[in-house]
Structures are given as structure tokens and as C-alpha cells.
Structure 1
């Protein structure tokens, strides 16, 4: 009596072999996990202190004055005191310094004169420095020369809330893009090489069905990408305070969304492998799909920051909606059933891209 061929057992065997091949591939590990981790570490260490205003301090400045000591405590300011006057003037002209200050005594303490030199090269940051300087002086006036005011500000009602940190915006974008790039490039190269080396043709000589070949390779990439997402989320959460509003439930919802994104984005890889005529044509075609989304889908910059005429283009891209979905779940505390628009658009893209993949994908 003949034993019936077990398609699922064959699928798992293919997935296991493919996963081992992925883990042995330095390029796959670097592009899927290495690059996102490097970016996360960079932005994580920068934190919310990305804006830094460099101010040169004139050698004649009275460093004991109240105003100077207050400016020194401002985290946004970086006071430069180890350069000569000529070097600071040169840096000011080049925009390396926002301003040069000279604080001198004006009678009895704490009175002083503050002279500020700036240049047109620093027009973008001088307003910020001026507001900080005025705030310091107003605080000094209130402390040393209290006076009546035309208005009194009532104590503010402070509502409970969460601080939106840089890592809360950056990490979901990098996670989304790593899923897109890995799914497109790895799928395209894999099936093109399997076809070129006649491995797919050899598979046809076995009882395994074509759909199980695809599912086996997809499962390997799905496991790899979800495992990578676990590492990325863990580092973001424990090292840099990435927000997971509902703890474990949010974490698992992020992983489910990761798996969904990988499945959809693999469709682009099937399309690329189907239309590529040689291995060298795969990167240009794949970059046409991935790079515009990397730049315009809100990975590093919110979509609202782009010109109004460009935003509709950004809103077409599937990566935009995956970014939004990740951020809404992680920071806003929404659940998968609350992000119907995002899931609907991504699903629509999945239907379209797999419909195209069925038409262009070649087994031989």
C-alpha cells in the first residue's frame, strides 16, 4: 500500500532549509536586522536632544554673571569657550556658530550688558537662541527686580499624557522599511536564482505541489522577519524607552502586524523576480519600489511635513499605512480592530500586487 505524500511535512522541511540559508547569508542578516538596529541606536542615543545651538563665548565675558550661569544650564545651548576670537568669527561666517556673546558687568551685580553677534548664515537658529536668552533675562528680572504685571497667569491644569519621544516615531518607520526591503529583495533574488539554477524544475520532479514550495519559502522569511522584529522592539523598549502602551498585548499586536506586512510585501518580490531578465536587473527594479517609500512614506519625516502637492503621492504608498498602523498601536494604544483604514489599504495593495504576481511570475 502506497504511503500518501505529506505536503505539509515537505513544506516545513523546505522552510527549515530556507531559514538556515537565510541565517548563513551575511547580506540578509545585515539588511534585515543590522541596518535598522544601527539607525535605531543612532536615533536612540540622540534622543530628544537633536537640536543643538552652538554659541561662541567672547574671552572678555564675565563667566560669574547670573545670565552666563543660567545660559550654561540650558541643554539646547552648547557654549564654545576654547577658541580664539578669529576662529569664532570665521565659524560664525560659515554658520558653524549661531552667535557670539559678550557679557560684561554693568554696575552692581546682577546687572550686566549682553552683546550678541550673529550672521545671516545662522538665520534658522538665531530666533531660538534669542527666545532662550530673553527667557533667561525675564527669569532674572523676576528674581532680582520683582514688579507688578498687567496680567497674572493662573496655574495650568495639567492633564495626564505620554511624551512622544523621537524613538516612538523612528522605530516603527525603520521596522516597516526593514520588512519592505527584506521581503522584496530576498524574495526576488531567491526565486530568480531557483529558476536560473533549475532548482524549481527539479522540485517539479517531486510530489510537492507548487503552492507548498511558495509557502515553505514564505514561512522561512516570515519566521526570520518576526524574530528580527522581536529583537528591534526589545532593544527599542529596554534601551531607549520605546512606548508599548498596553505592554505585552501591544507587543504581540505589533508582531501580528509585522507578519501581515511581510506577507503583503513579498508580493512585490514575486513581481520583481518575474519581470527581471537577469540578476543584475533585480536591484534597480526593487529600488524603484522601495526607495520612494523609504523617502516619502513617513519613515524619518512625517508625511504632513511634505509639500501639499506631494502628500497625495505619499498617501498612496502601502508603507505609509504600515508606518501609521505601527505608531497608532504602539503609542496611541489602538488595537488591530481600530485601524481598519490602514489594514484595508494594505490589504488592497496585497490583492493588487499578488494579482500582478500571478500574471508575471515564471516557474521556468
Structure 2
């Protein structure tokens, strides 16, 4: 037990004296969170559409339509003329161009008196159909605004209406979704990649060989490494969460104790996998590519930056087999949904299974020296 605590303290001192470790393991996740929060926005909407409006009519109706578009959440209206708007659309500075032709206001004013008249195409919508998502959203937004204007012109009174009931008690923003993913990425990178490179480097430099000459057991050495990294990861996670709270008002709706418990479980799991990689690699140069080969694909299929359900069906079995997706889901469940341990039984069970198997394999395959 004495050797275990000395190893833990020595590892913490090494972390504190290594500036690269502090920068890459602590400041990089914070910088990533601030950058993504700034560029992607921390507001309540994930929808953004730039609309160029060329008002050639200059009537009250055309101004009302332009104003209606500008009131739509996520829509930015740029008033321009038709040639400039078309040029902006082709350059990508605008998503759609709405051209309000002359005579639009007059057509609306006589619509109530002459209900049998044919509609006029006074509103022209220019868009790039090679981008189906923007095209569909733009068509819907403009169509709703025009439809509202038409109904007001003819005094339309609906017989049946739709009532919207919001069942989302905690409105989530983009940054609320990203922070748990960044925490998960930090845990995986610090432990899987960090352990593999560090242990392989120590083995090559002969540090582990000198330890082998002592009564120290491999399980005691691994346990000391794990404890030191658990303490470091917990501190890093708390710092990231505090920055997220004070800068973006990101809340933890669930139990802080459960959140720290999931961070602990994720740290232990990926650290054990890192020890296996360190055992397979003979040198630090070979450890880094092996760790990268394992961790890099997990970034894209682990639900870190976008929901797992958006991945192709072919990748779903892979997602259900790797630990990163379960760690991300559990952190997101506690932070965003206030989930309890009972509700998180599946990710907890999978991570625990990964931990037990990986730790046993790491203990058996651990090598003190290069063979």
C-alpha cells in the first residue's frame, strides 16, 4: 500500500511539472469549448438562414413581408437589389434570394374584392437546389410568410387551429450538447493516448526496467497510475464545467456526484485500454499511431459533436460496441436531462464491462521491458 501511494504522488508531481501535459490536457478542451461556443453560437436555436430581399414593389405589403421574414428566429434579412442579391447567392453570401416584383401590393389589395382572380407570381424565390436542406427550409420560411400575408389580405378566419404544447422542460442549446461531448473527448484523449505514449516512453528509457528490480507488482504500478490520472481528470473536468457555467451558463441538471462517478468510470475504462496499447507497442513512436488509430474514429462515431442517431445504419453496430458513445450518452444524460443511475444502467454496465476486461488484459499483458 505504501508503494501504491508513493507511485500516485510521484505521478501527480510529474503531471504538475510537465507544461505540455497541462496545456494539452486542460487548456485545449477549454479552448475548444470556447471556440465552438463562439462560432456555433450559444443561443437557443441551431437554425440559421441568410435571406437576401430585393423589394421592387416598395408597397406596405412588401415591407410587411420583409418585416415578417426578419422576425423569424434564425433568419437574417439583407435588403438589396435583384442583381446584387443574385450575385450574393451565387457566391454563397446568401442562402436564398426573395424578389418582390412590382405590383405585389396592388394584387393583394384587390384580392378580397375579386376572389375569383388568378394569383400572380409577384414573389420570386431564387435558391440553389443542390443544397436540399437549405432549399426546403428557405421555401418553408418564405411560404409561411407569404401565406400569412395572403390570409390577412382576404380576411381569412380558420375554423380549426393547432395548439403547440412544449414538453421540453429544459430547453437545450448547441453549447449544452457540446460540453458533455468535449468532456468525453478529453477523458478519452488524456487516458487512452496519454497512457500509451507515457508508458511506452518509460519502457524505452529503462525507467520500468529499474522498477522491475523492486518488489513492485504490475497491478500496484497500474493502480498507482490510474489513481493519479483519476485525480487529474476529475480536476480538469471540474475546471471545464466551471468555465462552461460562468461563460455560457451551462447547467448540470442531474447529480454532481453521479456526474463525477461517470467521469471516474470513463477515466478508468480508457486508461485500462491505454495500458493494453502500451503493452503492444514497443516504442513511443509506434504507441502514438496505434492509439490514434483507435481513438480517432471514435471522435466521429461517439456522439461527441453530433447525435449518434444521425449516423448511417451501417455504423450503428459499431457505435453500440465501443465505450466512447456510452460515456458521452451518460455525461449528456446527467447534465442535460438530469438522469439518475437507474436510467443510466445500460451505459454504466457497458463501461464497467469494458473496464473489467481491459484491466485484466492490461495486467496480464503488461511488460516492464522491451522484448
TM-score (normalizing by structure 1): 0.85
* Residue aligning to 1:43: 36
Query: Aligned partners of 1:128 and 1:345: how far apart in 2?
Result: 39
* Residue aligning to 2:27: 34
Q: Secondary structure at the match of 2:225?
A: helix
The offset of 1:278, in angstroms, is 1.7
Q: Which residue of 187, 194, 204 corresponds with 1:179?
A: 187
* Residue aligning to 1:3: none
* Residue aligning to 2:149: 140
CA distances 1:2-42 after superposition (whole Å, capped 9, x unpaired) = xxxxx43x433332332232233343233322332233223
Q: How does 1:1-364 map to 2 (within 5 A)?
A: 7-8=1-2, 10-45=3-38, 46-47=41-42, 48-58=44-54, 60=56, 62=58, 65-81=63-79, 86=83, 88-103=85-100, 104=102, 106-107=104-105, 113-143=122-152, 145-149=154-158, 151-153=159-161, 155-156=163-164, 159=167, 161-206=169-214, 208-246=216-254, 250-364=255-369
Q: Is the 8 A contact 1:71 1:133 kept in 2?
A: yes
CA distances 1:176-203 after superposition (whole Å, capped 9, x unpaired) = 1210111012211222222222222333
Q: Secondary structure at the match of 2:253?
A: coil
Cα RMSD for the two superposed structures: 2.8
Equivalenced residue count is 352
Bigger mean CA deviation after superposition, 181-190 or 70-79: 70-79
Query: Aligned partners of 2:236 and 2:323: how far apart in 1?
Result: 21
Q: Which consecutive unaligned segments of at least 5 residues does structure 2 have?
A: 110-119
CA distances 1:335-355 after superposition (whole Å, capped 9, x unpaired) = 224322111111111222223
Bigger mean CA deviation after superposition, 204-213 or 338-347: 204-213
TM-score (normalizing by structure 2): 0.84
Distance verdict in 2 for CA 1:58–1:269, change over 3 Å = same
Q: Secondary structure at the match of 1:80?
A: strand
Q: Which consecutive unaligned segments of at least 5 residues does structure 1 have?
A: 1-6
